[in-house]
Chain A
Amino acid sequence: MRSILTLATVLLCASFALPQATATSTKASAKQSAEAKPVEPLLSLFRIKPGDPCHTNNDGVQACNPAGGSGDITIDPKTGSASSATTVEFKNDATGSVTGLDGNDTVNTANGSNATISGTGGTVNAGSGSTGSVSNTGAAGGASITVNIGGGSFSVPPGATIPFSG
């Protein structure tokens, strides 16, 4: 009786241990094959998904993509430097904000997106079907922000806020 019980215990233990051993060996072989695969090209830009924390690069450009939107926002370069030419891109149906835009920075907005942009200079390329507003927070006499929209363009002077609808 006792020997049958011992046998049953051994079998039970084995049934638990065997799949784990198999899984470990499968994982090891998967890791090997993953290592053998060519490395995917890394994006220089940083992707901000809806609901992710805001991201600020060393150029002082901050992009925010609050939860509830239906599109990503990218910021390029992710880190950069104070003199970087930063490009922020609103993908289709993205809703968010950009602050700290200056002279050599650009914001592109895609169809269905809504962008609230502020800064002291730079360019906004408002794609068709996009909406939003541009505020120039610079001091009087400073640079304007250029908004290219529908084949034309307009300037946002310091102190002004102008809505756009592409």
Chain B
Amino acid sequence: MKRIHLALFALALATLVLFLFAFGGLDGRPEDTVMVHPRQDALADVAPVASSLELVAALATQQGEREAVPAPSISPATELPCASVQAELEAALVINNEQEQTIVELKAKLAAAIRARDRLTFDVETPYGAFIASHEAEEINDPYSLERIQDWLRQFPVFLGPGEATWIAERTSAKDWTRFGRTSEVALILYLGPDRVMSEVSPARAAELRAYYNDEPIFPR
């Protein structure tokens, strides 16, 4: 019984202390004190100053900061070169946009030429030959991507399925291989499927790949 009383007493005491802390009774500050920001104090001191520019200058000086500089007045003579430079910039942007369009068109033209050349050069029985003869190759209008696909298929001779060449072209353009694997090569192997790569490449290449990635869990044992 005595213990219950003691516990109740302690609980009451704790509540009281908590109450006093919460309402500021123990930190020596009156309960109804309104905290004034130091900057507001400074503003109050310079209140009679007439213009807002003077107000800012006075405030900056009072706070030990740099002197306020009055806004410079812009003369028509200064404004004139601004307009001419802006016109020059706009003309350059127009030329730039036109050149970008020309680059896109030339890239598409070059990609078409590469497709035409490689369709004559590569056998459709080879992975790259099969790809370059496909409708998917028509959609890839970036010569560099076509070159990369050819290079990848030289290193990993795997017949690509629908959408796979587009995925490789997208990674080539975005340079975001490491979202999918430690390196671009690992990303490609994981995307194509390690089992598939092992079954489609030559035994010598398979052994080489297995030895290279011996310490990484990429290829099935």
Contact = CB atoms under 8 A, between A and B. Distances in A.
B102 interface: no
A55 interface: no
A129 interface: yes
Contacts of A23: none
Contact of A70 (B152, B155, B177, B211): B177
B211 A71 contact: no
A70 B148 contact: no
A129 B147 contact: yes
- Helix, strand, loop or mixed for chain A's interface? loop
Contacts of B212: 43, 47
Contact of A128 (B151, B182, B214): B151
Nearest to B185: A92
B144 interface: yes
Counting contact residues on chain A (CB < 8 A from B), the size range is: 20 to 34
Given A49-B182, A92-B183, A112-B184, A70 B151 contact: no
Given A93-B183, A93-B184, A129 B211 contact: no
Nearest to B172: A112
B147 A91 contact: no
Interface string B184-221: 11000000000000000000000100111010000001
B36 to A, nearest CB: 51
Interface in B144-199: 144, 147-148, 151-152, 155, 172, 175, 177-178, 182-185
Nearest to A74: B212
A92 B149 CA distance: 12
Interface residues of B, number: 20
A43 B178 CA distance: 24
Given A43-B212, A71-B185, A93-B184, A129 B178 contact: no
A110 B147 CA distance: 12
Contact of B184 (A41, A42, A49, A92): A92
B211 A40 contact: yes
B214 A70 contact: no
Nearest to B207: A41
CB-based closest 10 A-B pairs = A93-B184, A111-B151, A70-B184, A70-B177, A40-B214, A71-B183, A41-B211, A92-B184, A70-B178, A70-B183
28 contacts: A37-B221, A40-B211, A40-B214, A41-B207, A42-B211, A42-B214, A49-B182, A50-B182, A50-B183, A70-B175, A70-B177, A70-B178, A70-B183, A70-B184, A71-B183, A71-B184, A71-B185, A72-B183, A92-B152, A92-B184, A93-B185, A110-B151, A111-B147, A111-B148, A111-B151, A112-B148, A112-B172, A129-B151
Given A43-B211, A93-B183, 9 more contacts: A41-B211, A43-B214, A50-B183, A69-B183, A92-B184, A93-B175, A93-B184, A112-B148, A129-B144
